[in-house]
Amino acid sequence: MPFRPLNSRMVEATVVPGQRLFSQRGAMLAYKGDVSFTPSITGGQGGVLGMIGRRVANEATPLMTVEGSGTVMFGHGGHHVHVVELAGETLYVEADRLLAFDGSLQQGTMFMGSQGGVMGMVRGQVTGQGLFTTTLKGRGAVAVMAHGGVIELPIRSGRPVHVDPQAYVAHRGDVRSKLSTAIGWREMVGRGSGEAFQLELSGEGTVYVQASEEKL
Amino acid sequence: MAQFRLQGSKVLAVDLTGDAVKAKNGSMVAYEGDMTFKKMSGGGDGLRGMVTRRLTGEQMEVMEVKGHGTCYFADRATEINLVSLRGETLYVEASNLLAADSSLRTGTTFTGLRGASQGNGLFTTTVEGSGQAAIMSDGTAIVLRVTPSTPLQVDPGAYIAHTGKLKQHFQSGVNFRTFIGEGSGEAFQIRFEGEGLVYVQPSERTTFGGDV
């Protein structure tokens, strides 16, 4: 378990030789021991092809590799940090919300259209996720940033969870998401309740929701 | 009756079993079960309330949430405080009210000179009846008890709400220093007398009184 929360906005990671960490560039606050920070030109894993993939997908955030032995403290922009432990599942998260993650996790990008075709692409646009989102798969921990605290809501089959697209942070597990609309005549005449679009998540897994409708 | 509980300090969870709650427009962040959201024009006080709110500038964008399941509310990561009302009246700024049981009546009331100094107008919102309400504060709010023998002075910018039988008046400590620009920044206070509770936030709104 490499990430340990120090307070709600800072995490501490232990780095041991032979184990890499990736973190958002510039997110290091302090470190102890002998640790080196190398800007990752390719922005993560997968070599040059992976880099091109992320550039095209607009999911390329400047990352750096953290190696050596010691402890490193991470934090960024005063945002709340939430540590997610993965045990073989896949975490779906926007690249700019990633603070740091285990180097052992497999990084990838997912096309929103691959879940629900055109509606998936529309969903990406509405939620501000764009056409692509980042996936992390494997065993390890991820530190995710959110505005305000994060609550975890379990998703069980037959019990879908609806989330405000602006408050959605990330989700994991075998979850299908779908944009549900509740547009009636009230929205048309500008008297909407402000909840016209919702993200419907169904399947088995967990969704992370932030206590705010603000983007990072 | 809708059951209010806090999930952390910034998220309000409301368990609904076919009943309804009033909440600030657009403050839902997630829900489980079946919910419908309907905007209530004019703060849900009917036509008369709608006109009053327009005239007094205490406009609330309120929606009615109805259904079965759990609904989660949050607004710009502000701290949330639960208030249980048993027949009393809660006085709160419309912008600080997050949600209220639908059995509670909301209205507007004249606050006098205090409102103008607080930077939130001459009117405030009242919530009365029996049930729960959730109010928002910038930072964790403290609740101060006022008794007849211990009146309380509050900075107008830090005041968010109060309950109980309280008389309030405005007091100023303006002296010659204030006029030569050497004021302490505490020229105005609201004084509460009587019996009740006052909610104070650890942050100050920008007010006219705060500048002098």
Which residues, numbered 16 to 55 in chain A, qualify as contacts with chain B under a Cβ-Cβ cut-off of 8 Å?
none
* Mean pLDDT confidence for A179-207: 76
- List domains and CATH numbers for chain B: 3-211 (3.60.160.10)
Over residues B79-131, the pLDDT tens digits come to: 999 999 999 999 988 888 999 998 888 887 776 655 555 555 557 888 999 99
Query: Does residue B73 register a pLDDT over 60?
Result: yes
Tally DSSP H helices, then E strands, for chain A: 3, 13
pLDDT band for position B196 (cuts 50, 70, 90): very high
Q: Does a structural domain hold residue A215?
A: no
Domain membership of residue A201 (yes or no) is yes
**For residue A208, pLDDT beyond 90:** yes
**Nearest alpha-carbon partner for B23 in B89, B100, B133:** B100
Tell me whether residues B10 and A194 touch, CB distance under 8 A: no
Rounded distance, CA A127 to CA A209, Å?
13
- Give the pLDDT confidence score for residue A56 in this predicted structure: 65
In a domain, A181, yes or no: yes
Q: For B11, which residue in chain A has the nearest alpha carbon? A: A211
User: Are A193 and B9 inside 8 Å of each other by CB?
Assistant: no
Q: What pLDDT score does B2 carry? A: 86
- Determine the structural domain holding residue A189 and report its residue range: 3-210
Tell me the residues of B at the A interface, defined by beta carbons under 8 Å apart.
7-11, 25-33, 35-39, 41, 61, 63-64, 72, 74-77
Mutate to test the interface with B, among A186, A195, A200 (most CBs of B within 10 A): A195
Please tell me whether the overall predicted TM-score, pTM, comes out greater than 0.90 for this model. no
The mean pLDDT of A181-207, rounded to a whole number, is 76
Look at A149 and B61 and tell me if their CB atoms are within 8 Å: no
Query: In this predicted model, what pLDDT tens digit does every residue of A128-177 receive, in sequence order?
Result: 666 678 889 999 999 999 998 899 999 998 889 999 888 889 999 888 88
Q: Are B122 and B166 in contact (CB under 8 A)?
A: no
Residue B164 has pLDDT above 60, yes or no: yes
Interface size A-B, in CB pairs within 8 Å, comes to 89
Q: What is the dihedral of CA B53, B56, B58, B64, to 10 degrees?
A: 0
- Chain B residue closest to A147 (CA)? B77
With H, G, I as helix, E, B as strand and everything else as coil, classify residue A105: coil
Residue B208 has pLDDT above 60, yes or no: no
Count structural domains, chain A: 1
**Per-residue pLDDT at B168 exceeds 90:** no
pLDDT above 80: residue B52: no
Q: Six-digit token pair at A123?
A: 């969903």
H/E run at residue B49? helix B46-56
Helix (H) or strand (E) holding A177: strand A168-181
pLDDT of residue A190: 61
Answer with the residue of higher pLDDT: A177 or B196. B196
Q: Which helix (H) or strand (E) holds B113?
A: helix B113-118
Using CA atoms, how far residue B150 sits from B144, B145, B146, B161, B192, in Å, is 11, 9, 6, 18, 9
- DSSP symbol at A117: H
**Contact of B160 with B138, CB cutoff 8 Å:** no
Nearest Cα residue in chain A from B70: A161
Residue B112 is predicted with a pLDDT of: 60
Q: What is the mean pLDDT of residues A189-216?
A: 82
Q: Which of A40-44, B100-104, B187-191 is predicted with the least confidence, judged by mean pLDDT?
A: A40-44
Enter the DSSP assignment of B2.
Answer: P
Q: What is the CATH number of the domain that holds A147?
A: 3.60.160.10
Task: Tell me if A193 and B29 make a contact (CB, 8 A cut-off).
Answer: no
- Alpha-carbon distance A67 to nearest alpha carbon in chain B (angstroms): 35
Query: Which pLDDT value is given to residue B108?
Result: 78
Which runs of consecutive H residues, i.e. helices, occur in chain A?
A: 47-57, 117-127, 185-188
Q: Is residue A216 part of a domain?
A: no
B45/chain A closest Cα distance in angstroms: 16
Residue A198, classed as helix, strand or coil, is: strand
B77/A212 Cβ within 8 A: yes
Give the C-alpha separation, B60 to B54, whole Å. Answer: 9
Q: What is the mean pLDDT of chain B?
A: 82
CB contact under 8 A, B29 and A210: yes
In the predicted model, what is the mean pLDDT of residues B150-179?
Answer: 82
Whole-angstrom Cα distance, residue B28 to residue A197? 11
The single-letter code of the amino acid at B65 is: V
Least confident among A74-78, A80-84, A129-133, B125-129? A129-133
